[in-house]
Structure 1
Amino acid sequence: MKLTRIALALLVAAPFAAANAGVTVTPLMLGYHWYPEDTQDKMRDEALLNRGGGGFKPNGVALTDDLSVGAAIGLELTPWLQAEVEYQQTKADAQHNEDNTGPKTGPFANTTGFYPGVPYDAKHETLSGNLIATTDVFTGNYDSKIKPYGLIGGGYSRITVDNPGYDYRSYDTIGNLGAGVLWQLNDALTLRTEARATHNFDNNWWEGQGIAALQVVLGGHLKPAAPVAPVEPVAPPPPPVVEPTPEPTPEPQQLTEDLKMELRVFFDTNKSNIKEQYKPEVAKVAQKLQEYPNATAMIEGHTDNTGPRKLNERLSVARANSVKSMLVSQYGIDGSRLTTQGYAWDRPIAPNNTKEGRAMNRRVYAVITGSRTVTVPADQVPTTAPSTTATTQ
């Protein structure tokens, strides 16, 4: 597959990844690509040996420093680690030997070169997979808006010089090392600046780049899980006051209270973020989960029938995960107590052929169940086991 087609695929894939938090899209990367003098010498030598079936021919070429453009799509694996696929292209001049002569000694001494005088047009393309790790992993300061990072990666390089009378191509394996800073402008936009060194393993030379790019974050940045708040021990009831009476004092009894609670949250089209009007309902669920330490929640995500099947499957899971993430990060609920499942459009509660029906189907439905043991005085023991049932909507 041509590298240019892969670059287009990066941009086409971006809207379909929007249902997942932490997806990064870099629609335009601008940089300056330079080739050190010893690298240019190796380019000329390599070009000389490859022209004409491997025999020596003078007038080899080397790429000149020029601007580069590119694009990338990635995913935040953790709050401090990103993985990305990146395409870049540099349209540079290919400068051939200026004196148009071969070596002064040896079997090709004083041989005459070909097509002197005018630089050739060249194209240098790269396709890389990179890992970006910020210093937050060491500092723990995930709320910082300025994030230094290191980059390591590898991939594929293609250099093409295609001019009348001169045809040169090089297909090589490369490795990337870089360092830079992510400047978070807001929750959706990040400015990225980077200095990078690239090693061409097949030809054993180094190249350098200075890069600036605007990164768009879809679904919001990943946040570190909030520490689970310790459960305060329940103070035992005070000992009963024994009155001087021949009648025995009634003993307190322990009873089990059952909990069953439902939660419904509705979403806008192709969105997985929780709207402000439903956040108090999620808070009520968090309160009950704290009151019932062994309670669990089954969180189901649903969509209407708008859009492709695969997109709706991912969107339903993202909606369920939004509720789970809020319970974990804001209220300290243990994530192992929360189970999520996405059903796409398989379980509608209203017809999908009306606007109102589709709005009812874009939802999260959660059932919270559990129990707890409480101690009550004997004279307050109910005749039936107590239970707690609540519905939030």
Structure 2
Amino acid sequence: MNKNSIRLATAIAAILAAPIVTATETGVELGAGVTYVMFDDDFNVADDIGYRGLLGYRVNERFGMELVLDGISTETDPLGLSFDMRQLYVSGLYHFNVEANVQPYVSLGWGQNSMELADSSFDNDTTATNLGAGIKWYLKDNLILRPAINYFMNTEYDEDFTTVGLTLSWVVGGGSSAAPKAKAPVAPADSDNDGVTDSSDTCPATPAGVGVSANGCPLDTDNDGVSDYLDKCPNTAAKLKVDSNGCPVKLSETVSIDLNVNFDSNSDVVKPAYYGEIGRVAEFLQQYVGTSVVIEGHTDTSGSASYNKNLSQRRADAVAAVLVQQMGVSQARVSAMGYGEEQPIADESTATGRKANRRVVAKVSAKVESMEEK
């Protein structure tokens, strides 16, 4: 190699060694391979295979630069004289498809070559500009297989030549990896980790583990305004008011019903006409579970007090029997008490008053809770 080539190589090496502010994808590339040189016909030199050495630097994802040394030993055509050529050139590279493992690139370079013809005083150096294209195939993060083609245009000669090379190179130093990696997609923010992104989350502070609807708000299955995770009464009817626990608001009230069955004089037979009245008592008892009824029997003052006491008890027992046997009320919820003539409600001096006093009254009184509606 002559002095001009040495100076060129030294200058290019200094450029490659200079500190450069780069993106994250950087690295020094060392490679070796083969090159096939194809000369123009006017060169009168046979095409042949030679060697290739490479020193490169990946500046960033898109740009790189490299120093390449090619050498070939062939012969002239048709004389068969030994012909040697060595060339050293520097190129700038632009890469495509940088997020993939296979990255095409184009290059533009300039350098110097030296040609020697055996048994001849011919020994000449020339500069050349070249255009190239190739592929970097990342077999691993730091191992690259590189096919490439370059077209060289000589400055001192009209004849040009083309090289087709195959290089295996190794990336050292620089960023975390010589091969640019596919960028992981950035997941939309979800501050409360409920599966609904912040941009769509109407309730951005939902506690962890709580089931949410499409807008990120806690579920409220019974639509009572209290979220399921706070609702202690999860199946409340829609029409009822609820408290902070999702349970119906209860109202306490006292309810009662009165029954009046009148009897003929000296009779304890319940007339069918009063069955509807007794039925109302049965319905009331069914509505308010846990209540009980006391059937009170009363008479007028006709007859002796002891007789009337007994008669009133029979009348009370007769009505109680209708409730149990005809209306299906549990015996345990029905009791009877005869008061005789002790509690009149009308004047005994008239027939109308005495009839009013011959009666049976049902006393039901209970304190119950009801649900307040919206």
Q: Larger radius of gyration, structure 1 or 2?
A: 2
Do both proteins adopt the same fold according to a TM-score greater than 0.5, normalized to the shorter chain?
no
TM-score of Structure 1 vs Structure 2, range by shorter chain:
0.3 to 0.5
The structure with higher relative contact order (CA 8 Å, sep 6+) is 1
Q: TM-score, with normalisation over the residues of structure 1?
A: 0.32
Q: TM-score, with normalisation over the residues of structure 2?
A: 0.33
